[in-house]
Structure 1
Protein backbone atom coordinates (compact mmCIF):
# COMPACT_ATOMS: atom_id res chain seq x y z
CA UNK A 1 0.00 0.00 0.00
CA UNK A 2 1.32 3.40 -1.01
CA UNK A 3 1.57 5.68 2.03
CA UNK A 4 1.65 9.02 0.20
CA UNK A 5 -0.51 10.00 -2.77
CA UNK A 6 -0.22 13.46 -4.29
CA UNK A 7 -3.56 15.26 -4.48
CA UNK A 8 -3.98 17.73 -7.31
CA UNK A 9 -6.58 20.38 -6.54
CA UNK A 10 -8.48 21.56 -9.60
CA UNK A 11 -11.19 24.18 -9.84
CA UNK A 12 -13.76 21.92 -11.51
CA UNK A 13 -11.93 19.86 -14.12
CA UNK A 14 -10.56 16.97 -12.03
CA UNK A 15 -12.18 14.20 -14.04
CA UNK A 16 -11.34 15.86 -17.36
CA UNK A 17 -7.69 16.20 -16.28
CA UNK A 18 -7.52 12.56 -15.14
CA UNK A 19 -8.94 11.40 -18.48
CA UNK A 20 -6.28 13.54 -20.21
CA UNK A 21 -3.40 12.10 -18.15
CA UNK A 22 -4.63 8.51 -18.47
CA UNK A 23 -4.72 8.94 -22.26
CA UNK A 24 -1.02 9.93 -22.33
CA UNK A 25 0.75 7.44 -20.06
CA UNK A 26 0.88 3.73 -20.94
CA UNK A 27 -0.75 1.48 -18.37
CA UNK A 28 -2.33 4.43 -16.58
CA UNK A 29 -5.57 3.70 -14.75
CA UNK A 30 -8.53 5.79 -13.78
CA UNK A 31 -9.82 4.58 -10.45
CA UNK A 32 -12.84 5.42 -8.39
CA UNK A 33 -14.81 8.59 -9.01
CA UNK A 34 -16.53 10.13 -6.00
CA UNK A 35 -19.51 12.09 -7.25
CA UNK A 36 -21.20 14.85 -5.28
CA UNK A 37 -24.55 13.04 -5.35
CA UNK A 38 -22.91 10.01 -3.68
CA UNK A 39 -21.90 12.01 -0.61
CA UNK A 40 -24.56 14.71 -0.71
CA UNK A 41 -22.10 17.55 -1.12
CA UNK A 42 -22.14 20.28 -3.73
CA UNK A 43 -19.25 20.11 -6.14
CA UNK A 44 -18.69 21.91 -9.40
CA UNK A 45 -19.12 19.49 -12.26
CA UNK A 46 -20.68 16.87 -10.01
CA UNK A 47 -17.31 15.26 -9.18
CA UNK A 48 -15.59 15.57 -5.82
CA UNK A 49 -12.53 13.33 -6.29
CA UNK A 50 -11.02 10.98 -8.85
CA UNK A 51 -8.32 8.44 -8.03
CA UNK A 52 -5.85 7.51 -10.73
CA UNK A 53 -2.51 5.82 -11.27
CA UNK A 54 0.47 6.72 -13.46
CA UNK A 55 3.33 4.20 -13.68
CA UNK A 56 2.08 2.52 -10.51
CA UNK A 57 2.01 5.80 -8.55
CA UNK A 58 -1.35 6.68 -7.00
CA UNK A 59 -2.74 10.19 -7.35
CA UNK A 60 -5.92 11.97 -6.40
CA UNK A 61 -7.62 14.74 -8.36
CA UNK A 62 -9.95 16.92 -6.31
CA UNK A 63 -12.42 19.54 -7.42
CA UNK A 64 -11.91 22.23 -4.82
CA UNK A 65 -13.63 25.03 -6.69
CA UNK A 66 -10.93 27.32 -5.37
CA UNK A 67 -8.86 30.15 -6.78
CA UNK A 68 -5.38 28.93 -5.84
CA UNK A 69 -3.74 28.08 -9.18
CA UNK A 70 -1.01 25.49 -9.56
CA UNK A 71 2.50 26.93 -9.52
CA UNK A 72 6.13 25.83 -9.96
CA UNK A 73 6.55 25.02 -6.28
CA UNK A 74 5.79 21.41 -7.13
CA UNK A 75 6.11 19.50 -10.38
CA UNK A 76 5.75 15.96 -11.64
CA UNK A 77 8.99 14.69 -13.16
CA UNK A 78 8.89 12.07 -15.91
CA UNK A 79 12.06 10.04 -16.53
CA UNK A 80 12.47 9.30 -20.24
CA UNK A 81 14.78 6.77 -21.88
CA UNK A 82 15.44 8.77 -25.08
CA UNK A 83 14.48 11.69 -27.30
CA UNK A 84 11.46 9.87 -28.71
CA UNK A 85 10.02 9.46 -25.23
CA UNK A 86 10.83 13.09 -24.36
CA UNK A 87 9.06 14.22 -27.52
CA UNK A 88 6.03 12.02 -26.83
CA UNK A 89 5.38 13.25 -23.28
CA UNK A 90 6.32 16.84 -24.06
CA UNK A 91 4.04 17.08 -27.09
CA UNK A 92 1.10 15.33 -25.41
CA UNK A 93 1.28 17.28 -22.15
CA UNK A 94 1.66 20.65 -23.87
CA UNK A 95 -1.04 19.85 -26.40
CA UNK A 96 -2.71 22.96 -27.76
CA UNK A 97 -3.04 24.89 -24.48
CA UNK A 98 0.09 24.09 -22.46
CA UNK A 99 3.33 26.04 -22.38
CA UNK A 100 7.03 25.22 -22.36
CA UNK A 101 8.87 27.02 -19.57
CA UNK A 102 12.62 26.21 -19.39
CA UNK A 103 15.13 23.42 -18.80
CA UNK A 104 12.65 20.51 -19.30
CA UNK A 105 9.75 22.24 -17.48
CA UNK A 106 6.30 22.75 -18.93
CA UNK A 107 2.82 23.61 -17.73
CA UNK A 108 -0.06 21.59 -19.09
CA UNK A 109 -3.50 22.97 -20.00
CA UNK A 110 -4.58 22.73 -16.35
CA UNK A 111 -1.55 24.59 -15.00
CA UNK A 112 0.18 21.49 -13.56
CA UNK A 113 3.98 21.71 -13.86
CA UNK A 114 5.90 18.79 -15.34
CA UNK A 115 9.57 18.05 -15.97
CA UNK A 116 10.27 15.83 -18.97
CA UNK A 117 13.79 14.55 -18.39
CA UNK A 118 15.86 12.15 -20.53
CA UNK A 119 17.81 9.71 -18.36
CA UNK A 120 21.08 10.91 -19.84
CA UNK A 121 20.68 14.43 -18.42
CA UNK A 122 21.05 13.77 -14.67
CA UNK A 123 23.75 11.18 -15.43
CA UNK A 124 25.82 13.75 -17.34
CA UNK A 125 25.13 16.51 -14.83
CA UNK A 126 26.59 14.24 -12.16
CA UNK A 127 29.59 13.16 -14.25
CA UNK A 128 32.85 13.09 -12.27
CA UNK A 129 34.39 15.23 -15.06
CA UNK A 130 33.28 18.62 -13.73
CA UNK A 131 34.08 20.41 -17.02
CA UNK A 132 31.82 17.99 -18.89
CA UNK A 133 29.04 18.44 -16.34
CA UNK A 134 29.38 22.24 -16.60
CA UNK A 135 29.11 22.13 -20.42
CA UNK A 136 25.97 20.01 -20.13
CA UNK A 137 24.50 22.42 -17.57
CA UNK A 138 25.21 25.41 -19.82
CA UNK A 139 23.59 23.66 -22.79
CA UNK A 140 20.54 22.67 -20.75
CA UNK A 141 20.06 26.22 -19.44
CA UNK A 142 19.52 27.42 -23.03
CA UNK A 143 16.81 24.83 -23.74
CA UNK A 144 13.10 24.65 -23.09
CA UNK A 145 12.46 21.06 -24.24
CA UNK A 146 15.58 18.98 -23.77
CA UNK A 147 17.45 18.05 -26.97
CA UNK A 148 19.34 14.84 -26.24
CA UNK A 149 21.69 15.20 -29.23
CA UNK A 150 22.65 18.72 -28.14
CA UNK A 151 23.24 17.50 -24.57
CA UNK A 152 25.49 14.70 -25.86
CA UNK A 153 27.38 17.16 -28.08
CA UNK A 154 27.93 19.47 -25.11
CA UNK A 155 29.24 16.53 -23.08
CA UNK A 156 31.75 15.70 -25.82
CA UNK A 157 32.90 19.33 -25.89
Structure 2
Protein backbone atom coordinates (compact mmCIF):
# COMPACT_ATOMS: atom_id res chain seq x y z
CA UNK A 1 0.00 0.00 0.00
CA UNK A 2 1.30 3.46 -0.90
CA UNK A 3 0.16 6.48 1.04
CA UNK A 4 0.38 9.78 -0.81
CA UNK A 5 0.05 13.10 0.96
CA UNK A 6 -0.09 16.32 -0.99
CA UNK A 7 -1.51 19.83 -0.70
CA UNK A 8 -4.91 20.86 -2.01
CA UNK A 9 -5.12 24.59 -2.72
CA UNK A 10 -8.61 26.10 -2.82
CA UNK A 11 -9.39 28.63 -5.54
CA UNK A 12 -12.40 30.55 -6.75
CA UNK A 13 -12.10 29.63 -10.43
CA UNK A 14 -8.35 30.34 -10.70
CA UNK A 15 -6.85 26.86 -10.22
CA UNK A 16 -5.62 26.48 -13.81
CA UNK A 17 -4.13 29.99 -13.87
CA UNK A 18 -2.42 29.37 -10.54
CA UNK A 19 -1.02 26.00 -11.64
CA UNK A 20 0.33 27.56 -14.83
CA UNK A 21 1.86 30.40 -12.80
CA UNK A 22 3.51 28.12 -10.23
CA UNK A 23 4.86 25.86 -12.98
CA UNK A 24 6.43 28.93 -14.62
CA UNK A 25 8.13 29.97 -11.36
CA UNK A 26 9.81 26.61 -10.76
CA UNK A 27 11.97 25.20 -13.56
CA UNK A 28 10.71 21.63 -13.17
CA UNK A 29 7.03 22.54 -12.78
CA UNK A 30 4.53 20.53 -14.79
CA UNK A 31 0.78 20.03 -15.10
CA UNK A 32 -0.13 16.37 -14.50
CA UNK A 33 -3.85 16.55 -15.28
CA UNK A 34 -6.57 19.14 -15.56
CA UNK A 35 -10.33 19.53 -15.78
CA UNK A 36 -12.66 22.45 -14.95
CA UNK A 37 -12.82 21.46 -11.25
CA UNK A 38 -9.32 20.18 -10.45
CA UNK A 39 -5.80 20.63 -11.76
CA UNK A 40 -2.98 18.41 -10.52
CA UNK A 41 0.50 19.85 -10.87
CA UNK A 42 3.98 19.23 -9.58
CA UNK A 43 6.74 21.62 -8.58
CA UNK A 44 10.09 20.59 -7.08
CA UNK A 45 8.90 16.97 -7.00
CA UNK A 46 5.95 17.96 -4.80
CA UNK A 47 2.43 17.32 -5.99
CA UNK A 48 -0.36 19.86 -5.56
CA UNK A 49 -4.05 19.86 -6.33
CA UNK A 50 -5.71 23.11 -7.33
CA UNK A 51 -9.44 22.93 -6.59
CA UNK A 52 -11.96 25.39 -8.01
CA UNK A 53 -14.08 25.21 -4.88
CA UNK A 54 -15.70 28.63 -5.05
CA UNK A 55 -15.57 31.71 -2.83
CA UNK A 56 -16.15 29.99 0.53
CA UNK A 57 -12.50 29.74 1.66
CA UNK A 58 -9.48 32.02 1.36
CA UNK A 59 -5.78 31.25 1.89
CA UNK A 60 -4.50 31.71 5.44
CA UNK A 61 -1.10 32.85 6.71
CA UNK A 62 -1.25 29.85 9.06
CA UNK A 63 0.05 27.73 6.15
CA UNK A 64 3.11 28.64 4.09
CA UNK A 65 5.32 26.95 1.54
CA UNK A 66 9.03 26.98 2.32
CA UNK A 67 11.45 27.16 -0.60
CA UNK A 68 15.07 26.45 0.33
CA UNK A 69 17.39 28.19 -2.13
CA UNK A 70 21.02 27.41 -2.92
CA UNK A 71 22.16 31.01 -3.45
CA UNK A 72 21.09 34.65 -3.75
CA UNK A 73 20.30 34.28 -7.44
CA UNK A 74 17.75 31.57 -6.68
CA UNK A 75 16.26 33.64 -3.83
CA UNK A 76 15.96 36.65 -6.14
CA UNK A 77 14.31 34.60 -8.89
CA UNK A 78 11.65 33.04 -6.68
CA UNK A 79 11.04 36.26 -4.74
CA UNK A 80 10.64 38.37 -7.86
CA UNK A 81 8.40 35.87 -9.63
CA UNK A 82 6.14 35.16 -6.64
CA UNK A 83 5.68 38.84 -5.71
CA UNK A 84 5.02 39.95 -9.30
CA UNK A 85 1.61 41.14 -10.47
CA UNK A 86 -0.04 41.64 -7.12
CA UNK A 87 2.09 39.65 -4.69
CA UNK A 88 3.09 41.23 -1.37
CA UNK A 89 6.44 41.32 0.37
CA UNK A 90 6.51 40.54 4.07
CA UNK A 91 9.32 40.40 6.61
CA UNK A 92 12.04 37.77 7.13
CA UNK A 93 11.77 36.12 3.72
CA UNK A 94 7.98 35.75 3.77
CA UNK A 95 5.75 36.83 0.92
CA UNK A 96 2.24 36.39 -0.32
CA UNK A 97 1.71 35.53 -3.99
CA UNK A 98 -0.97 37.07 -6.21
CA UNK A 99 -3.38 34.26 -5.27
CA UNK A 100 -2.97 34.95 -1.54
CA UNK A 101 -0.78 31.98 -0.59
CA UNK A 102 2.17 32.53 1.75
CA UNK A 103 5.72 31.48 0.91
CA UNK A 104 9.03 31.56 2.77
CA UNK A 105 11.96 32.06 0.40
CA UNK A 106 15.04 31.18 2.43
CA UNK A 107 18.64 30.06 1.92
CA UNK A 108 19.27 26.38 2.65
CA UNK A 109 21.86 27.42 5.20
CA UNK A 110 19.54 29.82 7.07
CA UNK A 111 20.15 28.04 10.41
CA UNK A 112 23.90 28.69 10.05
CA UNK A 113 23.47 32.26 8.83
CA UNK A 114 21.30 33.36 11.76
CA UNK A 115 23.20 31.52 14.50
CA UNK A 116 24.85 34.84 15.39
CA UNK A 117 22.52 37.25 17.27
CA UNK A 118 23.67 40.17 15.09
CA UNK A 119 22.69 38.26 11.98
CA UNK A 120 19.30 37.55 13.53
CA UNK A 121 18.92 41.29 14.18
CA UNK A 122 19.73 41.93 10.52
CA UNK A 123 17.23 39.29 9.37
CA UNK A 124 14.26 40.84 11.18
CA UNK A 125 14.88 44.11 9.28
CA UNK A 126 14.84 42.38 5.87
CA UNK A 127 11.97 41.54 3.62
CA UNK A 128 13.72 39.51 0.89
CA UNK A 129 16.64 37.73 2.53
CA UNK A 130 20.05 39.03 1.55
CA UNK A 131 22.64 36.30 2.19
CA UNK A 132 25.61 38.66 1.97
CA UNK A 133 23.93 41.02 4.45
CA UNK A 134 23.48 38.18 6.93
CA UNK A 135 27.08 37.05 6.47
CA UNK A 136 28.37 40.59 6.99
CA UNK A 137 26.25 41.01 10.14
CA UNK A 138 27.89 37.93 11.64
- 1:70 matched to which residue of 2? 59
1:139 aligns with 2:122: yes
CA distance in 1, matches of 2:90, 2:123: 13
CA distance in 1, matches of 2:33, 2:101: 21
Gaps of 5+ in 2: none
- 1:93 matched to which residue of 2? 82
CA distance in 2, matches of 1:74, 1:58: 16
**Structure exhibiting the larger radius of gyration computed from Cα positions:** 1
- 2:5 matched to which residue of 1? 4
Question: RMSD over aligned Cα, in angstroms?
Answer: 1.3
Give the helix-richer structure, 1 or 2. Answer: 1
Superposition pairs for residues 50-129 of structure 1, below 5 Å? 50-125=39-114, 127=115
Gaps of 5+ in 1: 35-46
Displacement after TM superposition at 1:55 (Å): 0.9
TM-score, length basis structure 2:
0.94
SS of residue matched to 2:100 = coil
CA distance in 2, matches of 1:67, 1:107: 19
CA distance in 2, matches of 1:2, 1:149: 41
Show CA shifts across 1:64-114 (max 9, x none). Answer: 102321121000110001111000000001112101011000001000100
Question: Stretches of 4+ moved more than 3 A in 1?
Answer: none
